[in-house]
Amino acid sequence: MKINPLFNALGAVVYILAVVGIISALQSPNTPDAEILAPVFLLSLFTLSVAVMAFLFFYQPFKLYFDNHKKEAVVYFMKTLGYFATVVLLSFFALLYFRAEDSITFPKGGEKLVQGQSYELTWTGGREEITQIFLVDVSLKEKNTSASIVDRIYGIENFHTYTYIVPTNIKPGTYQFQIGSQSSPTFDIVSK
C-alpha cells in the first residue's frame, strides 16, 4: 500500500504542531529539577523528532527504491519535500501577513481630552502580560527634561484597553501616551 506524499508532509506538520503544544504547556515548569530535566527532555525530543521526520520523509521512498522503483522513489521524496516546503512557506507568509502591527489605536492624534473625563485607551500588539502607561508632556519632552512623564500607571494587565481618567491637576497642553514601548500621536488636554 502506497501512501500519498501529501499525507507524509501533513503528518510532519501535525507532529510539529503537537510538539509546539507540548513545549508551550511545559514552558514554565515549577519543579526544582527543571534545570536538569530540561536538557534531557530537549535532547530526547530532538532524537524523537529526527526519527519521526526520517520515517515520514524517507520510509516510502526507501521502500520504493529497494523494490527497484528508483525513479518513482525520487519523485515521491521530492513531492513530499515540495508539499512540506509549500506548507512552511505558506505558514511564513501567513505569519508576516497576520502579525499585528503594534500601535496605539486611541488616541489617534489631534483629540482634545478634558480634565476629569474618562477615555478608553486602546492599542494592539505588546506580548507582555503586564504593561504600563505613561502620560508624557510633549513640551517638556522636546526640552529633554527628565520630568516629562507627568502620570504613571504600572501593573496593568495587557488586555489592549484601559479606562483612563485625565487627572485634573495636569496643566492643559500637548501630550502623548506611552503604553509599553509604543508612543501615541500627540493630543491636547484641555480644562473643563
Buried b (16+ CB within 10 A) or exposed e, 30-48: eeeeeeeeeeeeeeeeeee
Q: Are residues 73 and 112 in the same domain?
A: no
Tell me the range of 72-81, 86-95, 140-149 where mean pLDDT is highest.
72-81
Q: Would the pLDDT of 68 be above 90?
A: yes
> How many CB atoms sit inside 10 A of residue 97's CB?
7
Q: Are residues 16 and 86 in the same domain?
A: yes
DSSP string, 89-123: HHHHHHHHHHPPPPEEEES-SS-EEETT-EEEEEE
Q: Are residues 130 and 93 in the same domain?
A: no
Name the CA dihedral angle for 100, 103, 109, 114, rounded to a multiple of 10 degrees.
110
Q: Are residues 56 and 74 in the same domain?
A: yes
Residue 155's SS3 state is: strand
Q: Are residues 51 and 120 in the same domain?
A: no
Q: Are residues 160 and 124 in the same domain?
A: yes
Q: Domain boundary residue among 73, 98, 123?
A: 98
Alpha carbon distance 148, 141 (integer Å): 5
Alpha carbon distance 106, 140 (integer Å): 22
pLDDT confidence of residue 159: 82
Q: Are residues 84 and 121 in the same domain?
A: no
Q: Are residues 124 and 71 in the same domain?
A: no
Q: Which residues contact 137 (CB under 8 A, 6 or more apart)?
A: 148, 149, 150, 173, 174, 175
Q: Domain boundary residue among 83, 98, 113?
A: 98
Condensed to tens digits (0 to 9), the pLDDT of residues 139-181 reads 877 776 666 888 898 988 888 889 999 999 989 999 999 888 8
Q: Are residues 112 and 82 in the same domain?
A: no
Q: Domain boundary residue among 98, 121, 137?
A: 98
Q: Are residues 12 and 91 in the same domain?
A: yes
Range(s) of the domain holding residue 176: 103-190
Q: Would the pLDDT of 29 be above 60?
A: no
Q: Are residues 113 and 145 in the same domain?
A: yes
Q: Are residues 42 and 93 in the same domain?
A: yes
Counting the structural domains of the chain, the total is: 2
- Provide the CATH number for the domain around residue 150: 2.60.40.10
Condensed to tens digits (0 to 9), the pLDDT of residues 93-127 reads 887 776 656 788 899 899 999 999 999 998 887 66
The DSSP letter of residue 40 is H
Spatial CA neighbour of 166 closest among 100, 113, 122, 97: 113
Alpha carbon distance 89, 91 (integer Å): 5
Angle at 52 between CA 46 and CA 57, to 5 degrees: 120
